[in-house]
Amino acid sequence: MKEKETIQELQKHNLQKLSDNDLLFLIESYVTKRDDYENIANLIRGDEDIIGQMIDNDRIFNKVMDCTKQILGISPFFMFLLLLRKSFREKSTDPEFIERAINILNSSDYIVPWNKERIVELLEDTQISNYIANMLVRFSQSSRMFKIRENDKESYHYIVDMITDSLKSDNMRRFSIYCHIGNYSLFLTGMFSEYIKYRFKYRRRLVNSQFYIDFGKTYYALASKHTCAKRNNLSDTFAQLSRGFEVVADVLHFMNGKYLSPR
């Protein structure tokens, strides 16, 4: 039961199970020559490829970004996934970003050298964007950032306390903690990198961005090797997040600065 709850939270939302409101918004924004939206929804519901092509259309993105005077009624998952996929696409065609990413990752990964093709493959991995969108939905509730599981009473503000918990936990909770440390580190590194730098520089904190990068890579790697990840087809996603952590964090930083909280 605990494994089911953990996996459901990690994979709660996806394009195959898009809500009726999100699907209708997508169809109404995409289709221009028909108005039988309910019929179209019944035809494409659950088809991840078709829905993915529609959500990547600039018409959808522009409507969401230009809609400043009305409530769209779309879910947080739809919003985050739309922005993530847009950001990943932009960076996959940015030569300077790709060159910088190759240099950063090759400075720490000595097993398989990174090249342009491998970076683009990482950026185009829809399983990764889907996983991160779920993570952002969870962490958009600030209290959820500090809880390993949704119904936990305990809150953890320091990674060392999470690690201590993992050492005395059963196998399933240990997996949840591995995932949470990876998610927590990625969220802070990607969405709040300036805050980390500020604390480190001006408040004499010993924790810098590299601290979170190292823990994020380590614990995503541990999660990827866990039997629970293997049983639920998450091993490759966690392995990719571990190996390409810095690149994914940079895309989150870009997305946050350009689309969520532009100056």
Report the pLDDT value the prediction gives residue 192, as an integer from 0 to 100: 82
Give dist(CA 159, CA 177) in Å, integer.
10
Structural domain includes residue 224 = yes
Structural domain includes residue 222 = yes
Report the pLDDT value the prediction gives residue 4, as an integer from 0 to 100: 62
Structural domain includes residue 133 = yes
Structural domain includes residue 241 = yes
Number of domains comprising the chain: 1
CB < 8 Å & 24+ apart, contacts of 91-94: 91/123, 91/250, 91/251, 91/254, 92/119, 92/120, 92/123, 92/124
Report the pLDDT value the prediction gives residue 88, as an integer from 0 to 100: 97
State the pTM of this model: 0.90
Structural domain includes residue 47 = no
Q: Which residue has the tokens 């409530």?
A: 71
Report the pLDDT value the prediction gives residue 121, as an integer from 0 to 100: 96
Structural domain includes residue 137 = yes
In this structure, what token pair is assigned to residue 207?
A: 């924790």
In this structure, what token pair is assigned to residue 204?
A: 């004499």
Residues of the chain with pLDDT under 70: 1-6, 68-71, 109-110, 197-207, 262-263
Structural domain includes residue 105 = yes
Residue 213: which domain range? 95-260
Report the pLDDT value the prediction gives residue 131, as an integer from 0 to 100: 96
Among residues 59, 73, 71, 70, the alpha carbon closest in space to that of 30 is found at: 59
Structural domain includes residue 14 = no
The total number of residues shown for the chain amounts to 263
